[in-house]
Amino acid sequence: MYHGVISATLEFLDTDFLIVGAGVAGLRAAIELAVSGSVLVVAKDSLRESSSEYAQGGVAVALSDDDEVELHEADTLAAGDGLCDREAVRTLVEEGPAAIEQLMAWGTEFDREGSKLLFAREGAHSRSRVLHAHGDSTGREMAHSLYRKAASFESVRFLSFSSMVDLMIHDGRVTGAFALDSHGDRLVGIRARAVLLATGGLGRVYAETTNPDVATGDGVAAAWRAGAVISDLEFVQFHPTALHLENAPRFLLSEALRGEGAHLLNSKGERFMQRYHALAELAPRDVVSRCIVEEMHREGSPHVYLDLSNRGPAFVRKRFPRIYETCLAYGLDLDKQAAPVHPAAHYAMGGVWTTLDTRTSVPGLYAAGEVACTGVHGANRLASNSLLEGLVFGARAGRAMADAEAAHEGAQPAWSAPQSSEDAIRSLAWRHCGILRDAAGLRQAIETLEEMPVDTSAPITRAHCELRSMHTVAWMIALCAEARKESRGAHRRTDHPRTLPEYARHSRVSLEHPEVAFV
């Protein structure tokens, strides 16, 4: 039974299809499902607060005259460090061009020079294939146009300012979800034929992150409690260049800045990346993040610097207006000054395991976007593939869910919250499950999290729900990272520095089988 002050106010809603999350993946699925029945999209915060909204860099797609899907496929496989699912990658790059053209037909405006689309080049891409909107607001532009399209259907409704408490289960099948209403004083059971998790990322598990406050891993944690298989959660991508100013958020300074010629400088004002990698600033993200950490340790400095002043006056203001204005608000003029930067948790390659049509291991439950693990990203995501993944697999989710069976009411699951603070969990994850890891730190994280007492009488609030999610996800990251005794992609073990062929497999863990297996 649920405990707490709101347990007596449980109410029920009914819909054919429930989508938890209002980013690119969730909105694209809603559009696809609109002709198949009633659709309810539940956003944890406002409809403008999602990871998609914060995606500055762009969307990668093989649409330019000198590009091919085979080249996009090869670049994605190379970045994934031997762990990408080839069929999933092929699906992404082959279905991507038509998905982007459809998005443009719905009103999305990507940057152009005259009538010709502008393509930028980013780290680890062999071609210029990254589309941008308004310079550095690509995710926002895509999400807004998808929302306008979804909202044009009478069958699609939106419920904002709600927090998912748990999934609803009946006879081993997901039949809906429990959520808090906008005021946080009423528990609502939403019954549905099929549920899509499109909840985004888990970056708020870490003390340093570029993610919005809503990215607390709720979808992964809820899927785990429902018995779903979780895969590759040890692979967390740390963006190399988050703004590192006192009293400023860890605002992401896009990969595209380095693609446009930005240099990384140490505390002495010297470029250093060429000492670590042949591609210098254009090396893959995981490489750049580790090199920055090594340079910081070598120099004894709290950050390094990202400098684009070499591009001349007003370049950043015109090319990256959102980044420029945000930094200027904190007293930093990127056209004249180098920005202090530090790596921060940015993207989860792993998540809820799914098939190519987004089905999880639990009937009635689907997942798409960052919360899912299709195998597209392998051990390290290729820059700007995430928005394309949300678009392609969001559409696939809609098609797969359309034939779901009728729903049945599910029982209320047990409720408890860890007796800890959010800061304690985030600090623990950053220290022991961050860019550099070892067995001792990972084991300490696992033991500390497992020994945290729980409170079964805690009120059901958004804060407690998020704390429970972060606790579960941090524990799973540590568990999977400890089991993978090698270094691969974004997972770097200082005590196991080599990449080993026997670990060219995916980690899998579930509530029923909590011991990590590799398949």
Are 383 and 436 part of one and the same domain?
Answer: no
pLDDT band at 7; cut points 50, 70, 90: very low
- Cβ contacts of 269 within 8 Å, gap of 6 or more: 305
- Extract the tokens encoding 192: 């549905």
What is the phi-psi region of residue 197: left when phi exceeds 0, alpha when psi lies from -120 to 50, beta otherwise? beta
Are 327 and 373 part of one and the same domain?
Answer: no
The 10s digit of each residue's pLDDT in 323-335 is 999 999 999 999 9
Q: CB–CB of 392/30 below 8 Å?
A: no
The 10s digit of each residue's pLDDT in 247-277 is 888 888 988 899 899 999 999 999 999 999 9
**Does residue 261 lie within any of the structural domains?**
yes
Are 356 and 222 part of one and the same domain?
Answer: yes
Q: Any idea which residue has 């805690």 for tokens?
A: 458
pLDDT band at 122; cut points 50, 70, 90: confident
Which CATH number do you get for residue 328? 3.90.700.10
**Does residue 406 lie within any of the structural domains?**
no
* Last residue within a domain, chosen from 336, 366, 401: 401
Backbone angles phi, psi at 493, to 5 degrees: -100, 115
Q: What is the mean pLDDT of residues 178-182?
A: 87
Q: CB–CB of 92/84 below 8 Å?
A: no
Q: Is 493 a catalytic residue?
A: no
| 2, pLDDT greater than 80 | no
The percent of residues in the chain predicted with pLDDT above 90, rounded, is 80
Q: What is the mean pLDDT of residues 465-482?
A: 97
Are 68 and 170 part of one and the same domain?
Answer: yes
* Last residue within a domain, chosen from 379, 401, 423: 401
3-state SS, one letter per residue, for 125-193: CCCCCEECCCCCCHHHHHHHHHHHHHHCCCCEEEECCCEEEEEEEECCEEEEEEEECCCCCCEEEEECC
The 8-class DSSP code of residue 405 comes to P
CA distance 287 to 492: 10
What is the per-residue pLDDT for 161?
66
**Does residue 408 lie within any of the structural domains?**
no
The 10s digit of each residue's pLDDT in 136-163 is 789 899 999 999 999 999 999 999 867 8
- Extract the tokens encoding 142: 């895509």
CA distance 216 to 466: 6
Q: CB–CB of 301/293 below 8 Å?
A: no
CA distance 260 to 511: 45
Active-site choice (285, 359, 396, 508): 285
The 10s digit of each residue's pLDDT in 352-389 is 999 999 999 999 999 999 999 999 999 999 989 999 99
3-state SS, one letter per residue, for 197-249: ECCCCCHHHCCCECCCCCCCCHHHHHHHHCCCCEECCCCEEEEEEEECCCCCC
What is the per-residue pLDDT for 52?
53
Are 226 and 95 part of one and the same domain?
Answer: yes
Are 499 and 365 part of one and the same domain?
Answer: no
The 10s digit of each residue's pLDDT in 201-234 is 999 999 999 998 899 999 999 999 999 999 999 9
Backbone angles phi, psi at 273, to 5 degrees: -65, -30
**Does residue 262 lie within any of the structural domains?**
yes
Q: What is the mean pLDDT of residues 508-516?
A: 96
Are 364 and 226 part of one and the same domain?
Answer: yes
Q: CB–CB of 28/394 below 8 Å?
A: yes
What is the per-residue pLDDT for 308?
94
Q: CB–CB of 178/165 below 8 Å?
A: yes
Of 46, 40, 50, 48, which is closest to residue 20 (Cα–Cα)?
A: 40
Are 36 and 178 part of one and the same domain?
Answer: yes
Are 268 and 122 part of one and the same domain?
Answer: no
Compute the mean pLDDT over every residue in the chain, rounded to the nearest whole number.
92
pLDDT band at 6; cut points 50, 70, 90: very low
Are 494 and 364 part of one and the same domain?
Answer: no
Which CATH number do you get for residue 78? 3.50.50.60
Q: What is the mean pLDDT of residues 425-437?
A: 97
**Exposed, middle or buried: residue 157 (CB in 10 Å: 0-12, 13-18, 19+)?**
middle
**Does residue 2 lie within any of the structural domains?**
no
Backbone angles phi, psi at 164, to 5 degrees: -70, 130
Q: CB–CB of 392/89 below 8 Å?
A: no
Of 405, 503, 401, 426, which is closest to residue 18 (Cα–Cα)?
A: 401
Which CATH number do you get for residue 465? 1.20.58.100
CA distance 503 to 505: 5
Residue-number span of the structural domain to which 296 is assigned: 239-345
Q: Any idea which residue has 């091919």 for tokens?
A: 68
CA distance 313 to 299: 30
Range of lowest pLDDT (49-58, 86-95, 354-363, 417-426): 49-58
Pairing status of strand 187-191 against strand 11-14: parallel
What is the per-residue pLDDT for 4?
41
Are 261 and 165 part of one and the same domain?
Answer: no
Q: Any idea which residue has 């009633």 for tokens?
A: 38
Number of domains observed in the structure of the chain: 3
**Does residue 259 lie within any of the structural domains?**
yes
Q: What is the mean pLDDT of residues 280-294?
A: 89
What is the phi-psi region of residue 263: left when phi exceeds 0, alpha when psi lies from -120 to 50, beta otherwise? beta
Are 354 and 333 part of one and the same domain?
Answer: no
Pairing status of strand 194-197 against strand 365-367: parallel
**Does residue 494 lie within any of the structural domains?**
yes
**Does residue 376 lie within any of the structural domains?**
yes
